[in-house]
Amino acid sequence: MQFATWNVNSLSVRLPQVLDWLATNPEVEVLALQETKLTDDKFPLQLLNEAGFQVHFFGQKTYNGVALISRTQTGTDVVRNIPGMDCDMARVLSATYTAPNGQPVRVVNGYFPNGQAPGTDKFAYKMRWLTALREWLRGELVKTPQLILLGDFNITFDDLDVYDPVALHETIHCTTEERTHLQDLIGLGLTDSHRLFPQPEKSYSWWDYRGFAFRRNNGLRIDHILVSDALKPFATACSIDRLPRKNERPSDHTPVVLTLGATA
């Protein structure tokens, strides 16, 4: 059973690619989307239902917007955003599914703030948002020890996740302050599933549309799937699927896929 994340940068534009990808990846049970950029009244619920999928979604106009698409499961206890945090943006959507071991798994889908640049108001908001997420997740992990935090984190773990660490030293997505927040999330008892397994060198999940960045593999690894300590023994693979980045009119992000087995 697989859990995947994909920042689609407009679901209106990318819906055919999402449906195609789900058709060619039948093991994917839950797909978390970010940047749907659709208000809930415009969400393609009927098309996805007709294709056999169950969906939860939470969006807004122009920016942000998240969704959870599942193949067979309904998903329960749906929660929008970070409870207790005053935030008018559609960035988080959580639901509980059943893992292959038969136990519930809390799936938290996040579109983390971009942060623009260190020193800006948007960067300060990103820091506040990360603190609020961490404190809320602390309680979620007690309620549901099996938890997956996945999405577009807009943060690299370290220089391995950066195509040019020298040029991008302490720039947005690569600052010590952001990475400290990411490590604080790890400190809750979460693990970067990507690094649990051997990966190709220079593995990235996002490439700029400009300057032939994908062809040159000038990318960043900013889309992540974190698994809780309780779920970690069941992880059997984690991979970045670069194929959709080669589509016509691609998203600038490509899917990341976690595979869970039934036994530890």
Partner DNA sequence: ATGACTAAACCTTTTAGA
Query: What is the distance between the alpha carbons of residues 117 and 64, in angstroms, rounded to a whole number?
Result: 18
Q: 160-167: list long-range contacts, CB under 8 Å, 24+ apart.
A: 160/221, 161/204, 161/220, 161/221, 161/222, 162/220, 162/221, 163/202, 163/204, 163/217, 163/218, 163/219, 163/220, 164/218
Do the Cβ atoms of 68 and 54 come closer than 8 Å? no
Q: Which is nearer to DNA, 54 or 125 (CB)?
A: 125
Q: Judging by beta carbons within 10 Å of its beta carbon (0-12, 13-18, 19+), is residue 189 exposed, middle or buried?
A: middle
154 annotated to a ligand binding site: yes
Do the Cβ atoms of 213 and 204 come closer than 8 Å? no
Q: Does residue 206 interact with DNA by CB under 7 A?
A: yes
Catalytic annotation, pick one of 56, 97, 111, 192: 111
Residues 6 or more apart whose Cβ sits within 8 Å of residue 44: 11, 12, 15, 38
Q: Does residue 7 interact with DNA by CB under 7 A?
A: yes
Among 114, 199, 203, 236, binds DNA (CB under 7 A): 114
**Sheet containing 147-152: order of strands:** 76-80, 92-98, 104-111, 147-152, 223-228, 190-192
253 noted as active-site residue = yes
Helix axes 176-186, 121-143, angle to 10 degrees: 10
111 noted as active-site residue = yes
Q: Does residue 211 interact with DNA by CB under 7 A?
A: yes
Could you tell me which stretch among 20-28, 46-54, 109-117, 238-246 binds DNA (CB under 7 A)?
109-117
63 noted as active-site residue = no
Among 27, 49, 74, 122, binds DNA (CB under 7 A): 122
Site residues for DNA, 126-145, by CB under 7 A, read none
Q: Does residue 70 interact with DNA by CB under 7 A?
A: no
201 annotated to a ligand binding site: no
Among 13, 47, 186, 264, binds DNA (CB under 7 A): 13
* Amino acid (one-letter) located at 151: G
Q: Which is nearer to DNA, 62 or 103 (CB)?
A: 62
Q: Does residue 252 interact with DNA by CB under 7 A?
A: yes
Q: How many residues sit close enough to DNA to count as binding (CB under 7 A)? A: 28
Catalytic annotation, pick one of 97, 152, 161, 224: 152
207-237 per-residue burial string, b: 16 or more CB within 10 A, e: under 16: beeeeebbeeebbbbbbbbbbbebbbebbbe
Among 20, 143, 209, 233, binds DNA (CB under 7 A): 209
Site residues for DNA, 43-62, by CB under 7 A, read 61-62
Q: Does residue 170 interact with DNA by CB under 7 A?
A: no
Q: Which residues are annotated as a binding site for Mg(2+)?
A: 7, 35, 152, 154, 252-253
Point out which residues bind DNA (CB under 7 A): 7, 9-10, 12-13, 35, 37, 61-63, 113-114, 116, 122, 152, 154, 172-173, 206, 208-211, 220, 222, 249, 252-253
